[in-house]
């Protein structure tokens, strides 16, 4: 790929133009977060659904638009969702929701950091409480998906790689309250992930199963990657960024070492365009599909590490820059398309058994642009 000289400011303005257009159509959080033919608003999932975890990536983008432009229209728009977020955490059953960090870091924490709104702070702390309730004291991990009192089933006693990016909510709660409980839960989960999920070559499995009742290790499981033993690209990205943020909050050098080890594994497996295959260990007969969201998340993780480690700073920032430049090409990005109906930004996000647009891919693409322009407010 030829070297591009990107105007990050111009690209951010294109993203904000897309956000402005989307705001006219997206007036409730009842979206799945996966685009259908590039359209988010065509794919509905009730916000109180236990599987609804993606919408906050969109609100995170709107917060970035506000912080970039200082235009109050964005806060007015964001405030319209407060009741939905309060109802979700206070009124509905949280028994199977483990992605509270994704949901509330990019809405309630972002609102509090942006406006000082104490109600938003209280809501975010309530979300941290609910997330911490999912901690299994026997295995030392935050339980994914199933109810905490479930005793049988393949998803009972599971931890997953994605949860490393839920931990920032707990670290933030510790920072705000001084209650060490939040930090203890977060660090225990990070330590258990490192012990059982991060392999010697710094690949990471998607899931690991324990006996729920006594913490006995059962072994690797897979629900999002290609197979047990494979290396799901987006899971690797979640872990890169998650361990980098964990280091920022704790100064635990093992977390920085892990973030860099995962990053080196990710970088070593990138292709010419700096966009990874959706899993680094698919077999030769499996279609070689890419995942732009994994690239965008990893770019943010690399930029986070570059701010924490002077030795690796230039290398990681350079690679993150190349990833973002590549993601901005027309074959991966819709911002220069003339189709006025288009809502999603990135193409080729691996979502289940298909490729589509996804709010998490778009969010991390915007965050990476903002970081490269040195204007990002970090909500993690």
What does the DSSP 8-state code read for residue 355?
E
> Which residues, other chains included, contact 210 with Cβ-Cβ below 8 Å and sequence gap of 6+?
136, 138, 139, 141, 157, 158, 159, 216, 217, 218
* pTM of the complete model beyond 0.95: yes
117 is catalytic: no
- Point out the catalytic residue in the list 7, 99, 149, 211: 99
Domain chopping of the chain, boundaries: 8-372
Burial of 181 (0-12, 13-18, 19+ CB in 10 A): middle
Comparing CA positions, the residue from 94, 280, 296, 299 lying closest to residue 201 is 280
99 is catalytic: yes
* CA dist., res. 348 & res. 285, Å (int): 20
Tens of pLDDT along the chain (380 residues) come to 444 468 999 999 999 999 999 999 999 999 999 999 999 988 899 998 878 899 999 999 999 999 999 999 999 999 999 999 999 999 987 777 889 999 999 999 999 999 999 999 999 999 999 999 999 999 999 999 888 888 888 999 999 999 999 999 999 999 999 999 999 999 999 999 999 999 999 999 999 999 999 999 999 999 999 999 999 999 999 999 999 999 999 999 999 999 999 999 999 999 889 999 999 999 999 999 999 999 999 999 999 999 999 999 999 999 999 999 999 999 999 999 988 899 999 999 998 778 899 999 999 999 999 999 999 999 99
Helix (H, G, I), strand (E, B) or coil at 56: helix
- 60 token code pair: 């995170």
- Point out the catalytic residue in the list 162, 279, 291, 362: 162
Place of tokens 């204007």: 375
Task: Indicate the CATH number for domain 8-372.
Answer: 1.50.10.10
Contact 278, 217 (CB under 8 A): no
């Amino acid at each position: 790929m030829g070297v591009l000289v990107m105007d990050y400011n111009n690209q951010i303005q294109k993203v904000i133009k897309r956000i402005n257009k989307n705001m006219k159509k997206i007036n409730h959080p009842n979206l799945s977060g996966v685009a259908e033919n590039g359209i988010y608003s065509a794919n509905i999932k009730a916000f109180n659904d236990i599987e609804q975890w993606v919408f906050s990536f969109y609100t995170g983008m709107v917060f970035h638009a506000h912080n970039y432009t200082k235009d109050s229209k964005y806060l007015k728009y964001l405030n319209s969702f407060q009741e939905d977020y309060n109802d979700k955490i206070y009124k509905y059953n949280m028994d199977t929701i483990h992605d509270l960090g994704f949901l509330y870091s990019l809405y309630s924490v972002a609102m509090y950091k942006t406006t000082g709104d104490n109600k938003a702070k209280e809501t975010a702390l309530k979300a941290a409480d609910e997330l911490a309730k999912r901690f299994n004291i026997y295995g030392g991990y935050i339980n994914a998906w199933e109810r905490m009192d479930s005793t049988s089933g393949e998803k009972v006693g599971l931890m997953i790689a994605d949860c490393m990016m839920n931990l920032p909510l707990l670290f933030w709660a510790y920072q705000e309250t001084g209650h060490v409980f939040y930090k203890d839960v977060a660090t225990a989960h990070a330590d258990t992930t490192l012990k059982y999920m991060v392999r010697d070559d710094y690949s990471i499995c998607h899931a690991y199963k324990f006996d729920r009742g006594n913490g006995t290790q059962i072994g690797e499981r897979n629900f999002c990657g290609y197979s047990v033993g494979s290396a799901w690209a987006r899971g690797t990205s979640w872990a890169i960024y998650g361990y980098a943020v964990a280091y920022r909050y704790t100064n635990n050098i093992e977390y920085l070492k892990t973030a860099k080890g995962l990053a080196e594994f990710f970088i070593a497996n990138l292709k010419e365009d700096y966009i990874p295959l959706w899993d680094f260990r698919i077999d030769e007969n499996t279609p070689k599909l890419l995942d732009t969201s994994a690239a965008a998340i990893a770019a943010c993780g690399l930029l986070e590490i570059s701010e924490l480690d002077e030795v690796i700073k230039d290398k990681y920032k350079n690679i993150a820059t190349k990833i973002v430049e590549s993601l901005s090409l027309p074959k991966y990005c819709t911002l220069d398309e003339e189709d006025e109906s288009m809502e999603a930004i990135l193409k080729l996000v691996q979502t289940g058994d298909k490729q589509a647009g996804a709010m998490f891919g778009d969010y991390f693409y915007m965050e990476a642009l903002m970081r490269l322009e040195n204007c990002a407010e970090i909500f993690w």
